[in-house]
Amino acid sequence: MTTDTLSERVGSDGLSARLETAQIFRVVEEELAATLFIDVHTHLFMPSLGKLGLWGIDELVTYHYLEAELFRSSRIKPEQYWPLSKREKADVIWKALFVENAPVSEATRGVVAVLRAFDLSTDNTDLSQARAFFGAQEPRAHIRRVFALAGISEVVMTNDPLDPDEAPLWEHGADPDSQFRPVLRLDRILNKWSDQWQILSSQGYGVYADGRGTTALEVRRFLGEWYARMKPVYMACSLPDAFAFPEEGIRGRLLAEAVLPACREFGIPLSLMIGVRYQVNPALRLAGDGAGKADLRALERLCADYPDNRLLVSVLSRENQHELCVYARKFSNLMPFGCWWFLNNPSIVEEITRERLEMLGTSFIPQHSDARVLEQVVYKWRNTRRTLAPILANSYRLLTDDGRPVSRADVRRDITRLFRGNFESFCGSR
Ligand code: RAT
Ligand code: ZN
């Protein structure tokens, strides 16, 4: 249901009327369902970026979250798995995680919920019915249907200008799409400089392996050119648990002398996703990263020393969540967002979201999907709504108990702020 149709049904009196305690949960559920969210971080791609955009059952079943689970429930070894075709991989995972075991993990349940959303069987022993269904979809109409099922109006992409498959598409003028907002992702530049600097150098930028001379200025010029090409809503980088700032290394220098000044110049935030332990098991490839507790004093320095930069921050370790809230209370240029990757499970989302509401009110962005496969937004946003409804309702119940009545208009304003307004105002787009 759209917000408009809901308000017609409710009427303006109903909007401002005090809610009885017994009504609160239902109203929160209705408002969560009626609000179209902005998905502030995904790995989805707009149609003009062609084959980069993943969708359909074989991609859903071979999501790297499921690949990690495969090696726990099957005897297959990574070296036997990787040479298989995409279909063969999906068949192996389906058999191990969906046929021979009950798909109770968050990532496996997600596939079940997607099948159900499209009225497909959820307990078939093979994927033929689902393959026939997804194979018959027209991509653009399918995207519209998926967004409607997920209750989202737009998604934010992850666009790396040094990705050899992606960069040429932008250079040839990929058609923008208002439902897919670009993000200038800096992982290759900031985390893999020793492999990447020669690519910039070969493109005519005066950069050096050790970062001397014109390097930082030239990286800034590179960012400026990509800003003009992509019009990103923010720049972004994932960072290890050992991230430190300030630091003498190349990453610290490029951050201070190229990235932060460029973000200030363009008036956009920098998103930092802190706490990855890259490739703790390289045999698992994309599924081989782990998580570690970071020293958030690096974030304290960034917030304090760069008050004119805005930082959108997600931290991967559960142990860092409370500190992140404390820092957000100190620095209004810090916006916590999402329950990222290993945290996107109902038990942990519940804990983190309650803590954030208690410490920050509605001044944070509760969740992003991190979807890599289009249809994942259906289950990820469904799960977010399901987990958040009782948490929000409980906050309003406590508030009512403490003496402040709550109306549907309050609930609508808060949900809109959490899932749209905070992002829009932090990114300067509204
Ligand atoms: O959650 C994920 O899919 C991870 O693999 C990462 O991509 C992470 O979200 C990131 O953006 O670095
Ligand atoms: Zn991501």
For atom 11 of ligand 1, the residue with the nearest CA is 238
DSSP state string for 241-275: TT--SS-SSHHHHHIIIIIHHHHHHHT--EEEEEE
- 295 Cα to the center of ligand 2, angstroms: 21
- Predicted confidence at residue 9, as pLDDT, reads 54
Quote the DSSP letter at residue 99: I
How far apart CA 143 and CA 45 sit, in angstroms, is 11
- 341 Cα to the center of ligand 2, angstroms: 8
Q: Which atom of ligand 1 is nearest to the CA of 185?
A: 11
For atom 2 of ligand 1, the residue with the nearest CA is 341
- 169 Cα to the center of ligand 2, angstroms: 21
- 342 Cα to the center of ligand 2, angstroms: 11
Find tokens 């998926």 and name the residue. Answer: 146
| Residue 16, token pair as written in the block | 């401002």
For atom 12 of ligand 1, the residue with the nearest CA is 238
Quick one: which ligand is closest to 41's CA? 2
Decide: 223 and 265 in contact? Cβ < 8 Å. Answer: no
How far apart CA 181 and CA 283 sit, in angstroms, is 33
- 87-107 burial, b at 16+ Cβ within 10 Å, e below that, comes to eebbbbbbbbbbeeeebebbb
- 188 Cα to the center of ligand 2, angstroms: 14
Q: Whole-model pTM?
A: 0.96
* Side chain identity, residue 191: N
- Predicted confidence at residue 14, as pLDDT, reads 86
- 341 Cα to the center of ligand 1, angstroms: 7
- Predicted confidence at residue 3, as pLDDT, reads 47
- 234 Cα to the center of ligand 2, angstroms: 14
Q: Which atom of ligand 1 is nearest to the CA of 344?
A: 1
Q: Which atom of ligand 1 is nearest to the CA of 236?
A: 11
For atom 9 of ligand 1, the residue with the nearest CA is 370
How far apart CA 95 and CA 123 sit, in angstroms, is 11
- 157 Cα to the center of ligand 2, angstroms: 9
- Predicted confidence at residue 1, as pLDDT, reads 46
- Omega cis (within 30) before 232: no
Q: Which atom of ligand 1 is nearest to the CA of 289?
A: 5
Pocket of ligand 1 (CB under 6 A): 238, 273, 341, 370, 372
Radius of gyration of the chain (CA): 22
What is the block-wise mean pLDDT of the chain (430 residues), using blocks of 10 residues? 53 86 98 98 97 98 98 98 98 98 98 98 98 97 98 98 98 97 98 98 98 98 98 98 97 98 98 98 98 98 98 98 98 98 98 98 98 98 98 98 98 98 90
Find tokens 């990929």 and name the residue. Answer: 174
Residue 359: closest CA among 385, 328, 388: 328
- Predicted confidence at residue 429, as pLDDT, reads 72
Alpha carbon dihedral 234, 335, 380, 31, in 10-degree steps, equals -110
Pocket test for ligand 1, best of 63, 106, 340 (most atoms within 8 A of CB): 340
Pocket test for ligand 1, best of 157, 238, 274 (most atoms within 8 A of CB): 238
For atom 5 of ligand 1, the residue with the nearest CA is 286
